Amino acid sequence: MEFQLSKRIQALPPYLFVELDRKKADAVARGVDVIDLGIGDPDLPTPDFIVEKMREAVANPAYHRYPSSQGMERFRESAAAWMKRRFGVECDPGSQICCIIGSKEAIAHFPLAFVDPGDVVLVPTPGYPVYHIGTLFAGGETYYMPLLPENGFLPDLDSIPADVFRRTKIMWLNYPNNPTAALATQTFFEKVVALAREYGFIVCHDAAYSEMTFDGYSAPSFLETPGAIEVGLEFHSLSKTYNMTGWRIGFVAGNPELVAAMKKVKSNVDSGQFEAVQEAACAALDSDQSCVEEMRAIYTERRDTLVEGLRSAGLDAPSPKATFYVWVPVPEGQTSAGFSSLLLEEAGIVSTPGNGFGEPGEGFVRMALTVPRERLEEAVERVRRVL
């Protein structure tokens, strides 16, 4: 038998980290003490009270049956109450919230509800790869919006031609941003709402890092923007907020028609998340959020260690107010790939070359704060020796 992959799978972008992964494996095989700052996955465990709730819930026979794909009423109520407490945004749990199996799943599936061949989807670059992949799978056309330092890593909306806007079905945004750690301003969100209303497109806001914030900064919900509910859907994930990446749970909130469309797609491709996981997620959302405060304190300390250390080594590292990423400009005359290789080969440090997230990320490497502080101290020591 010879199998022919579909055109959509053949069209997938090449995996840009092949070389880096190989070099990392080589270094590990040589016995190098590798410090991996490449992965955006929390190293900290899920808080105990959430694990305890799961332990109880898993024994409940009522949860052993098929869940509903939109999520239990109890989960949707917890999510709505959290949106209200956290952002002052009112969402009806019946029509404006849907449980998702992690945001990745929902980001990949949502375009199936609205995107036909020939439709444009606006995607930030550098960015999370799934916005483009979801577009591709739905047969749409990606129009990339570069995120550049001179614009504070916000898309330059004025540079997008009107005929592109006219063909646009969805605009993806993600603030606090991965990989640049940039923040959105209220003015920016207002401008987005005005454009979405003018051209009739949907705004999907990926808010995966809304709680991973430092120095007293509190990230807004896109849905707080006046008029946003008319055009917008927000993707929330428990992955980063509660160290629950392995649990696969989150929710979308926003416009009832968009939520209904998400439910329609999901009811045809999955049967929802295990209700025991939903119950544990309720415990997280309903809690006093002190575990989130502890998580912030840990990352703040790590961030300061890494940023101050990189600066003392002569790098122009900004100190992020959110996310667990430091978006570091590479030294003069270097490329992302070259600097990333140098760090790995000479210092045993894994970083992600910025252009791997899209060409405008060239000139940066991303370092994740996903190792203990002592390891970051060691990393900084090694960078100093190399530079």
Ligand X SMILES: *Cc1c(COP(=O)(O)O)cnc(C)c1O
Catalog residues that contact ligand X under the rule CB under 6 A.
40, 102-104, 128, 174, 178, 206, 208, 237, 239-240, 245, 250
**Total Cβ atoms within 10 A of residue 231:** 24
Minimum Å gap between C-beta 78 and ligand X is: 17
Q: Find out whether 79 and 103 touch, Cβ atoms under 8 Å.
A: no
Question: Which one, 244 or 380, has the nearer CB to ligand X?
Answer: 244
How far, in Å, CA of 309 to CA of 294, rounded? 23
Minimum Å gap between C-beta 325 and ligand X is: 9
Minimum Å gap between C-beta 76 and ligand X is: 17
Minimum Å gap between C-beta 250 and ligand X is: 5
Would you give the distance in Å from CA 197 to the centre of its chain? 25
Question: Which one, 305 or 352, has the nearer CB to ligand X?
Answer: 352
Minimum Å gap between C-beta 127 and ligand X is: 7
Backbone angles phi, psi at 300, to 5 degrees: -60, -45
Question: Which one, 165 or 324, has the nearer CB to ligand X?
Answer: 324
Q: Find out whether 303 and 320 touch, Cβ atoms under 8 Å.
A: yes
Question: Which one, 165 or 247, has the nearer CB to ligand X?
Answer: 247
- Helix ranges (DSSP H) in 200-274: 228-231, 256-269
Question: Which one, 176 or 309, has the nearer CB to ligand X?
Answer: 176
Q: Find out whether 184 and 193 touch, Cβ atoms under 8 Å.
A: no
- Helix ranges (DSSP H) in the chain: 7-10, 18-29, 48-57, 73-87, 103-109, 130-137, 162-167, 186-199, 228-231, 256-269, 275-286, 290-312, 336-347, 373-386
Question: Which one, 237 or 309, has the nearer CB to ligand X?
Answer: 237
Tokens 């929802």 found at: 272
Minimum Å gap between C-beta 352 and ligand X is: 12
